[in-house]
Amino acid sequence: MSLESESVDTDAERGYFGVTVPTRYKWLAIKAVTVLVYFLMLLPLVVVVVNSFNPSRLGNFPPSSLSLHWYEEFLSNELMHRALTNSIIVGLGAALVAGLVGTVTAMGFVRKKFRFKNGLVIVMLSPLLVPPIIVGVAATLFFVQVGVPRTIWWIIVMHALLGLPYAFLIIRSQLYLFDESLEEAAKTMGAGPITTFREVTLPIIAPSIVTAMVIVFVISFGEFTATQFWVQRSTTTVPVVIFSMLRTSISPEVDVLATIMLVVTITIPLLIFGIRRKFFGR
């Protein structure tokens, strides 16, 4: 990797405290920090994937040999299957709900004039500001008070809430770029709001809705801190199962589950963004 941008003048310069450091050494230091940071970010992921093939129960690292033993265990573990299915259902449900709610809400914020708009934007973004532990406790007490049974819907509705600010922001930024005269044209030709939305607006903002839904899925799929309060045995999700396994014993079975999570959470966005690029060209 050759880096020219910062090293246009290679002359040593007047440094501070009487120390002179040539520009290219500074750039070298920046590169060194970058390499260190990438190493630290990738190391945990590599370690988890490698350790999922570790036959030893204690999971000493590095493994002395590699095997699919814990993957076989996973295949026969019904709790884990249920957790994985639940996580995917919740993720898809939250993505659909937040995609829908995010779209109509962003439309309103971009197209309409109303009072307290700036304050209401902060309201829309507030799920980003309340620590998840508090969201977890508050929603549990609320649903228990209201008497909502602890079903998977509870989790879907709350994950949609946690993903909503992202969906809102992503779709809104696309709407800002939207040429409103297209909608005006449709209206002039006699189309009502629904038809205009379906035939004109939706096709143009569809890529951002897809992005928003993928992001909400990813957030939902990995959420633990708030979700731990909302699940019960039949509605448990993968992060909750991983956490409870960590509390009891750490065997490479955890790494198998984590590796599967890793694969799902990386391939789904890549796949969908790939398809999106093919269809919309961006």
Partner 1 sequence: MSSERGQGTALLDRLLENDRLQFLLSPGLGILWVVMFLALPMTVIVVISFAIPGDFGNTIYEFTLQNYQRFVDGNVYHTIVLRSLWYGVVTTAIALPFGYTVGYFLGRSKTDWKWILLGLVVLQYWVPFIVRTYAWIIVLSNNGLLNGLLQYLGVIQEPVTILYTTASMVLGLVVSLLPFIILPVYVSVSTIDEDQIHAAKTLGATDFRAFREITLPQSMPGIVAGVLFVFIISAGAFLAPTLLGDSGKRMIAPVIESVFIIDFNWPYAAALSVIYFVVIAGILYLFNRRIDLEEALETGAGR
Contacts with partner 1 in 3-42 (CB under 8 A)?
3-6, 8-9, 13-16, 23, 26, 30-31, 33-34, 36-38, 40-42
Q: Are 222 and 261 in contact (CB under 8 A)?
A: yes
Q: Does 2 bind partner 1 (CB under 8 A)?
A: yes
If one asks whether residue 206 binds partner 1 (CB under 8 A), the answer comes out as no
Size of site (CB under 8 A) for partner 1: 112
Helix, strand or coil, per DSSP, at residue 4? coil
Among 229, 235, 236, 253, binds partner 1 (CB under 8 A): 229
Q: Which two tokens stand for residue 216?
A: 């909400």
Nearer to partner 1, 74 or 221 (CB): 221
CA dihedral 125, 130, 210, 178 (to 10 degrees): 10
Nearer to partner 1 by C-beta: 63 or 77? 63
Residue 213 and residue 239: Cα distance in Å, rounded?
A: 20
Which residue lies nearer to partner 1 by CB, 107 or 210?
A: 107
Is position 155 an interface residue for partner 1 (rule: CB under 8 A)? no
Tally DSSP H helices, then E strands, for the chain: 11, 0
Q: Could you say which residues in the range 186-205 bind partner 1, by CB under 8 A?
A: 186, 189, 191-195, 199
Residues 89-128 that bind partner 1 (CB under 8 A): 101-102, 104-109, 111-112, 114, 118, 120-128
CA–CA gap between residue 42 and residue 45 (Å, rounded): 5
Of the candidates 164, 268, 169, 158, which has an alpha carbon nearest to the alpha carbon of residue 224?
Answer: 158
The pair of structure tokens assigned to 4 is 């020219």
The label of the residue with tokens 């309060």 reads 229
